[in-house]
Amino acid sequence: MGSQYDLQVDKVVQEVKRRKSKRVILQLPDGLMQYAVQISNRISKDTGAEAIISLDSCYGACDLAVHAASRLNADLIVHYGHAPWVSKSSIPTIYVEAFASVDIGSVLPKTIAFLRGAKKIGLLSTVQHIHELIKVKGFLEKNGFEVMIGKAAGRVHYDGQVLGCDYSSARSISADVDKLVLIGGGKFHSIGLALETKKESIVIDPSSGSVFSTKELLHQYLRSRYARMVEARAADSFGIIIGIKFGQLNMSEALNAKEKLTGSGKGVTMFCVDNLDPERLNFMGDIDAFVVTACPRIAIDDAERFKKPVLTAEEVKIMLSSELLEGYLSSG
Amino acid sequence: MGSQYDLQVDKVVQEVKRRKSKRVILQLPDGLMQYAVQISNRISKDTGAEAIISLDSCYGACDLAVHAASRLNADLIVHYGHAPWVSKSSIPTIYVEAFASVDIGSVLPKTIAFLRGAKKIGLLSTVQHIHELIKVKGFLEKNGFEVMIGKAAGRVHYDGQVLGCDYSSARSISADVDKLVLIGGGKFHSIGLALETKKESIVIDPSSGSVFSTKELLHQYLRSRYARMVEARAADSFGIIIGIKFGQLNMSEALNAKEKLTGSGKGVTMFCVDNLDPERLNFMGDIDAFVVTACPRIAIDDAERFKKPVLTAEEVKIMLSSELLEGYLSSG
């Protein structure tokens, strides 16, 4: 099975045999879906278990297919692409991180120019590249930097790992370092990291082989979110959306946002959703702005697809405080 | 609350009060979603219960939001737009059919021309217009026809009602009548009805005020499904999709299709899904054709959005039998 990811199918097959599983739900994020049928057929053929691939989207370990497994009386979930979630599933689960086998050695020298003036570096990674931390640490140390890797905490499984909804491993070290280095593709985690730590972050994207600073990205991001908060501040009626996915349900955050908004004279209607289709918010003509408490990525990544302002719960606090809102643009 | 549907909000409010519900999940199909916020705000204001609108799609009473209600510790579901489902929900549920208040009196005379030559008429309706059955029966009788209304059976709640997945009320009378008359908008139920009964069906669409025969529609439908079955017959690898929604899970039908397909030398991979996004099947490059056991409407209504043949379980039986496949085009 040729793949740039370490799919560990032999190990999965052994585990399914050892557990004598009868029915296995196989769950993968979109980026790994192309391998689903091959993995499933290997499990069925080599273990005799009934493997069933979940066709629903999968955005993280928070999106674990516990409901599907329970509906289908499955006795095992094989979840690809994410590290184990912080809370245990009621259905036994094997997590296969699917570490990327891209060699980042040749990209590393590009980082040096971005680290000029810094002495102490905080090093972070998304889960796909977490096994590269030691290599990058060695490289940076050889180039005269002092390197710190934050401890796993909160929802995070590995030391130095960041999640779109949890940067605690970064926060634990950011006060002690001059700059941060993140190994991971895409803009979402790098902006989140910069925003949470208020530190310039240098991003190594192993897939594209590019290295960039978050400085300009963060300013763009702040301007765009600021505009949405200003628009939402003028809104009369808010919809608060609660996620029902395995690790996304946050009722207290939703009720908290409701209290804050009604306390400020805003009307509030409550919503719940499994998978949010931005188009469906258009049905809600009576609502001027939304707050998503499910996953911060929904409000941020899908921003262009929403016709109305959609905020995170954190942004509600900022929006309702003149002081925080005024200072927001310079908070990066 | 101006609406062409009887939303019975006062009755819902009374029921929520009587049951002393604390948290209510409000669920509506797309056609009624525009009233969701008004209904929700009435429930919250008049009863003090926390009303939460489900933003996920809702395709029938089979799609009841039991999982959402259970995740959110709701003690009541208010489900709009469909008649009660055949199996009980673990969460107490109020069904509000939302009968349409469109007057069909002026449309009825158009039906007479379509009923030429018939003496006995079988009368059916989708749930939105079920309260019109008596009026239409009276009209047809006054015009000299003998009218039969089939008994509720299977998944069907009302006498004379048809569901996209259950035409038993029609089958129970079709042998005894010359033609069928269906009150209901859209093509899906009318084609299903004609296909299940092999009888010409005259459709009264109350929304558009039009009346039409299913004769030509059915031929188009048969040709299109025939082409898909012929294409699927040549496929080597099949994906069988099991739905996990409240009333759509049919494991035995899925396992049955699997047995039939593997018995005919086809490769089979199993899938499960809550809400099927046709685009997601494109990830599955290894699969040549799919079988959906969740809801017949998925294979039929979304046919144009699938790049590969997607069959119902019933169509698998036809596809695998040369005799049935050869006779299919003339089965209408």
Mean pLDDT of all residues belonging to chain B:
94
B28, closest residue in chain A (CA to CA) = A283
Query: Has this prediction a pTM greater than 0.90?
Result: yes
pLDDT 10s digits, A226-256? 999 999 999 999 999 999 999 999 999 999 9
Q: What is the pLDDT of residue A330?
A: 83
Q: Which of A71, A76, A80, A310 is the best substitution to test chain B (most B C-beta atoms within 10 A)?
A: A71
Taking the alpha carbons of A279, A282, A287, A289 in that order, is the dihedral positive or negative? positive
The residue whose two tokens read 């509030």 is A268
Average pLDDT rounded to a whole number, residues B235-251: 97
- CB contacts, 8 Å: A54 with chain B: 271-273
Contact B80, B262 (CB under 8 A): no
Sheet holding A76-80, edge to edge: A93-96, A76-80, A23-27, A50-54, B267-273, B237-243, B289-292, B310-312
Predicted pLDDT of residue B297: 86
Please tell me the predicted confidence (pLDDT) of residue B101.
Answer: 84
* Per-residue pLDDT at A23: 98
The answer to whether the CB atoms of A274 and B56 lie below 8 A apart is: yes
d(CA A212, CA A60): 25
Contacts of B267 in chain A (CB under 8 A): 41
The pairing of beta strand A50-54 with beta strand A23-27 = parallel
Single-letter amino acid code for the residue at A205: D
Least confident range of A45-49, A299-303, B78-82: A299-303
Partner residue facing A271 (CB), from B53, B251, B270: B53
Cα angle value A56/A62/A63 (rounded, 5°):
10
Query: At B282, phi and psi to the nearest 5?
Result: -65, -20
Residue type, A245: K
CA distance A203 to chain B (A): 29
Residue type, A130: I
State what percent of residues in chain A have pLDDT above 70. 99
**How does pLDDT run across A75-116, given as a tens digit for each residue?**
999 999 999 998 899 999 999 999 988 888 899 999 999 999
Cβ-based contacts of B25 with chain A (< 8 Å): 272
Residue A282's pLDDT is 85
Q: At what angle do helices B36-47 and B9-18 cross, to 10 degrees?
A: 40
Min distance A271 CA to chain B CA atoms (Å):
4
**For position A178, what pLDDT does the model report?**
95
In this complex, the residue of A34, A55, A269 whose CB is nearest that of residue B37 is A269
**Quick one: average pLDDT of A158-170?**
94
In this predicted structure, what is the pLDDT of residue B332? 62
Q: Is B40 within 8 Å of A277 when comparing Cβ atoms?
A: no
Give me the mean pLDDT over the B232-238 stretch.
98
CA separation for the pair A130, A153 (Å, rounded): 15
- Residue B272: list chain A partners with CB under 8 A: 25, 52-55, 68, 71-72
- Other beta carbons less than 10 A from residue A90's beta carbon: 9
How far is the C-alpha of B65 from the C-alpha of A58, rounded, in Å? 20
Q: CA-to-CA distance for B236 and B186, rounded, in angstroms?
A: 35
Counting one residue from chain A and one from chain B, the pairs whose CB atoms sit within 8 A come to 128
Distances (CA, A) of B6 to B3, B35, B68, B129: 7, 11, 26, 11
Q: Which residues on chain B are in Cβ contact (under 8 Å) with A267?
A: 41
Could you give the 3-state DSSP secondary structure of residue B213? strand
pLDDT over threshold 60, residue A1 = no
Q: Which of B29, B52, B46, B70 is nearest to A268 (CA)?
A: B52
Domains of chain B: 9-96 (3.40.50.11840), 108-213 (3.40.50.11850), 225-328 (3.40.50.11860)
B chain contacts of residue A251, beta-carbon cutoff 8 Å? 72
Whether residues B244 and A67 touch (CB distance < 8 A) is answered with yes
Confidence of residue B1 (pLDDT cuts 50, 70, 90): low
pLDDT of residue A145: 97
pLDDT tens digits, one per residue of A36-67: 999 999 999 999 999 999 999 999 999 999 99
CB–CB of B272 and A51 under 8 A?
A: no
pLDDT at residue A2 above 70?
A: no
Nearest to B283 among A30, A269, A272 (CB): A30
Which chain B residues touch A36 with a CB distance below 8 Å?
Answer: 283-284
Ramachandran bin of B98, using left for φ above 0, alpha for ψ from -120 to 50, beta for the remaining angles: left
Task: Tell me the nearest-neighbour CA distance from A280 into chain B, angstroms.
Answer: 7
Spell out which residues of chain A touch residue B273, defining contact as CB-CB under 8 Å.
Answer: 54-56
Looking at the predicted structure, is the pLDDT value of residue B3 above 80?
no
What does the mean pLDDT of chain A come to? 94
Tens of pLDDT, residue by residue over A201-228, are: 999 999 899 999 998 888 999 999 999 9
Task: For residue range A130-144, list pLDDT tens digits in order.
Answer: 999 999 999 999 999
CA distance B40 to B44: 6
Total Cβ atoms within 10 A of residue B7: 20
Tell me the residue length of chain A: 332
B215 against B70, higher pLDDT? B70
Name the pLDDT band for B200 (thresholds 50, 70, 90). confident
